[in-house]
A and B are shown apart, each in its own frame.
Chain A
Amino acid sequence: MDVINTDIAIVGAGGAGLRAAIEIAEADPKLNVVLISKVYPMRSHTCAAEGGAAGVIKANDSLDYHFNDTVGGGDWLTDQDAVELFVNEIPRELTRMEHWGCPWSREDAGTVAVRPFGGMKVMRTWFAADKTGFHMLHTLFQTTLKYPSIKRLDEHYATDLIVDGGRVQGAVCLEMSTGKLKLVKAKAVIIASGGAGRIFPFTTNGAIKTGDGMAMAYRAGAALKDMEFVQYHPTGLPGSGILLTEGCRGEGGYLLNKDGYRYLQDYDLGPATPEPVLKSMELGPRDRLSQAFWHEQKKGRTAASKWGDVVYLDMRHLGEKLINERLPLVRDLACSYVGTDPVTDLVPVRPVVHYMMGGIHTDIDAATTIDGLYAAGECACVSINGANRLGSNSLGELLVFGARAGRHAVEHIRTTKPAADKLVEKQASDAEQRIKLLFERKGKERVSVLRNELTHSLEDGCGIYRSGDLIQATCDKVSEVRDRYKDVMLEDKSSVFNTDLFQVLELGAMIECAQTVAVSALERKESRGAHQRLDHVERDDVNYLKHTMAFYNPNGDPRIDYLDVVITKSQPAARVYGAAAGGQHI
């Protein structure tokens, strides 16, 4: 096995991983960084983020407002020390992106423009038309090219973390073009591998979002936190699940039911005013909007389409000029995929799985419970999102905590002495054996069948509304799939760019993530944010104002534990949207 020695290895080259790499390169150009990614960096799913990144910059805004919006939006399951740090640091991070060339949309005076976003009291979302994530990703990737200390292993699939002597010592990865395993020995590892939206059948997430990094850390002993909180974005295109940004509503789009009625006013989000009001109606938080769809569907007020039940996104009154300027991708996608032009037609939409609030548990320095292992971005859970993430907080998160992960990883290797590493080679060869076994074994379970059963079961039991019996059925199904996976069939035995192999490995990661989602959901007997239970409809701060921690158990359900939420200055209260929220008029 090839061995690569480096100082810091980063798994994942999306926004968080690239940001971490730059931070390290700037902190100490002598440190070697190896950036491992299963795709070329510009393919990472950060590119699909459309709407923008929230950061306080305008005179009418304040850090407290952003803090309060985020904490309340997360239904008080956020760690308030993390949120406070986040809202403080994000404006500087976004400015830094500007200095690196990110083409933020501008005001006439040349200053950065902001747009309204759901659940935010004041306009504070920086944007680059409706391709914010794309521009951020490419800006970050291109900026990394300035630093010779950053070495990339593009199209390398990380399979295992090496943990020895209680400390992370590196990672094993597969070179996709040859099928060869490489051992990357490192003094610190940062996981920035994104979410696991692909464990659901209907998702905005790209094919690569299979939770590989989450599962890798989980198997190595790190806790997966708050995995039951899965965000449904209210406006996905039916059929494909393609995302239409919240910016559509930020710019003034309406959500209509089949009668052309702005139904959100029936769900404590009104009154319905023609001009958008922040924290009201279409600018309410994502969990509440997706839940409203579910109720409309039950009432028979959604429209039937060939792709199933839908509501309509009405942007016709925004005019062609604004749509072309601020929502060009949305127009392109809607015209291409559902044959409706937002300038002249209603666009059918429905809620779609978009984001995992949960992830690898970290502290505010992005450190996990494993010494030397850090995590940032969607794969991590530093608990700024709580039970429901506000739109435009995730792009900020990957910058703030990507940078912190980099900084603290540097700090870590400066202050810790080398540890015993006698098991490193052995663990690496174990990893090799596991893959070898896949090639040698016959197997009879098909990847596509297992994946199909897994994802549909998650949708059935862990959708917008859940109940104990349905979640239990999902838990049982996931356990069954997990067992059957032991007999999974690798049909392609070749070594060059064997995508069958990668799908088999990805499915393994998906199953681990799915199991933590289902079991965590079963154990949380309350309704909070994106976790709504029909059999426990109230929020229960007495018993569940705490984080779910799932620990790996090779032979059964994860072990579940709980961790207190950090509350500093905002005591749990009712979430208020609509007129009473006092949101800014636009």
Chain B
Amino acid sequence: MSRKPYVRQMSKTSWFLTHSRYKHYILHEVTCIFIAIYAVILIFGLFRLGQGPEAWQGWLDGLRSPLGVIFQILAFGFAMIHTWSWFKVVPQAMRIQRGESFVPGNLIIGAHYGVLAIISLFVLILAGVA
């Protein structure tokens, strides 16, 4: 008689359903799809702009359609989730040491939100909204 190690296979298609932390991870990963689609739409907008005023207006109308608005709300929501989940882990990837101690993680996260707010404000001012 001898060894016969038993190998448990992880399902390639459903592993992320097996634990809540994996579900969070997948949520975080899935949110980027919406952000990517939104980026494609923006680039498409640039393309339409180059085709003349009518094309541009069509693109704008598309965005303002109920479907367009729903998509943008969803994309915005997911972008926020994505932002939150990324900012949360920044202190792990970016440790800042001052002498014998490290800059507290919350400060680093706070700084990221601060920069996000400033850039958002800048963009809104550029867009003439604020």
Contacts and interface: CB of A to CB of B under 8 A. Distances in A.
Interface of A: 177-178, 494-496
A177 B1 contact: no
A496 B1 CA distance: 8
Contacts of B2: 178, 495-496
Interface in B1-34: 1-4
B11 to A, nearest CB: 27
Contacts of B4: 496
Contacts of A494: 1
A205 B2 CA distance: 32
Given A495-B2, A496-B1, 8 more contacts: A177-B3, A178-B2, A178-B3, A494-B1, A495-B1, A496-B2, A496-B3, A496-B4
Which secondary structure dominates chain A's binding surface? loop
Contacts of A178: 2-3
A81 B53 CA distance: 99
Contacts of A177: 3
A35 B4 CA distance: 26
Nearest to A175: B3
A67 B126 CA distance: 78
Interface in B56-109: none
B113 to A, nearest CB: 29
Q: Which 6 residue pairs are nearest across A and B when measured between Cβ atoms?
A: A495-B1, A496-B3, A178-B2, A178-B3, A177-B3, A495-B2
A379 to B, nearest CB: 30
B5 to A, nearest CB: 9
A332 B120 CA distance: 44
A496 B4 CA distance: 9
B45 to A, nearest CB: 54
Contacts of A495: 1-2
Nearest to A494: B1
5 contacts: A178-B2, A178-B3, A494-B1, A496-B1, A496-B3
A2 to B, nearest CB: 13
A495 B1 CA distance: 7
B102 to A, nearest CB: 14
A177 B2 CA distance: 8
A494 B4 CA distance: 13
Nearest to A325: B100
Nearest to B4: A496
B3 to A, nearest CB: 6
Contacts of B1: 494-496
A81 B94 CA distance: 54
Contacts of B3: 177-178, 496
Nearest to A108: B100
A368 to B, nearest CB: 36
B43 to A, nearest CB: 51
A494 B1 CA distance: 8
Contacts of A496: 1-4
A104 to B, nearest CB: 15
A469 B99 CA distance: 62
A130 B2 CA distance: 42
A496 B5 CA distance: 10
